């Protein structure tokens, strides 16, 4: 009877020890601070992004102190808008044609002392100039004299010389009438000194000035 009771006590004690050992294995002992430090130092360092965007910087860290990525960190940057100025194309405007230039030419005819009669040489010069005169847009006939004699007489003589040239042109080519203009003044606008015979001869003249549009035959 005593032996059976002792056996039951022994079996109960052994069962209690087994349960106690099993319960201890379920709760591992806490790691010491030195163990945690060793574990952290043994982990490999990682390259982590500290910020995001264009201001992002990178540094080495050891888990678990490394920052974790979030959707905000992984968001794509908004592309910058182009700051280049937009230049609107302007349609080309056709340029206006340049106005035609006028070329001025002068034919000088000489007269005798106190005379308004065309000399044979003057008639030849006018006849040779007719092709140009036909193409002219304006023809101005200017009568001149030397300083010999009264001013009123010289004015009348200058006008008579200009009319002699006009009449010859209209007789030869009547269609020149719209282009003709008469001017006359004696005792002025000399082209040579009047103190010599040669100079006075140069001043007794009629100038035929004709304007020709640029591009027309010379």
> One digit per residue, pLDDT tens: the chain, 218 residues?
444 554 554 555 555 555 444 444 444 555 554 545 444 445 576 766 766 666 667 776 777 677 666 655 455 555 555 555 555 566 666 666 665 566 888 999 999 999 999 999 999 999 999 888 888 899 999 999 999 999 999 999 999 999 999 999 999 888 888 889 999 999 889 999 999 999 999 999 999 999 876 544 43
CA–CA gap between residue 49 and residue 73 (Å, rounded): 9
How many Cα atoms occupy the beta-carbon half-sphere of 204 within 13 Å?
Answer: 24
CA–CA gap between residue 148 and residue 114 (Å, rounded): 9
What pLDDT was estimated at residue 218? 39
What pLDDT was estimated at residue 63? 72
What are the strands, taking DSSP E only, across 10-129? 46-49, 58-61, 102-110
Domains and CATH numbers, the chain: 102-213 (3.30.1330.60)
């Amino acid at each position: 009877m005593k032996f059976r009771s002792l056996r039951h006590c022994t079996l109960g004690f052994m069962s209690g020890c087994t349960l106690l050992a099993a319960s201890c294995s379920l709760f591992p002992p806490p790691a010491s601070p030195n163990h945690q430090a060793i574990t952290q130092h043994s982990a490999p360092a990682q390259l982590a992004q500290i910020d995001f965007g264009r201001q992002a910087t990178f540094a080495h860290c050891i888990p678990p102190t490394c920052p974790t990525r979030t959707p905000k960190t992984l968001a794509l940057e908004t592309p910058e808008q182009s700051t280049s100025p937009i230049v609107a194309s302007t349609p080309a405007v056709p340029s206006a044609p340049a106005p035609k230039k006028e070329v001025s030419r002068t034919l000088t005819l000489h007269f005798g002392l106190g005379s308004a009669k065309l000399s044979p040489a003057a008639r030849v010069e006018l006849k040779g100039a007719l092709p140009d005169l036909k193409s002219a847009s304006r023809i101005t006939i200017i009568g001149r004299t030397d300083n010999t004699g009264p001013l009123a007489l010289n004015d009348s003589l200058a006008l008579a010389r200009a009319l002699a040239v006009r009449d010859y042109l209209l007789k030869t080519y009547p269609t020149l009438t719209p282009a003709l203009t008469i001017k006359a003044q004696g005792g002025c606008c000399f082209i040579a000194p009047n103190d010599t015979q040669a100079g006075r001869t140069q001043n007794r003249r009629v100038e035929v000035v004709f304007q020709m549009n640029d591009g027309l035959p010379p």
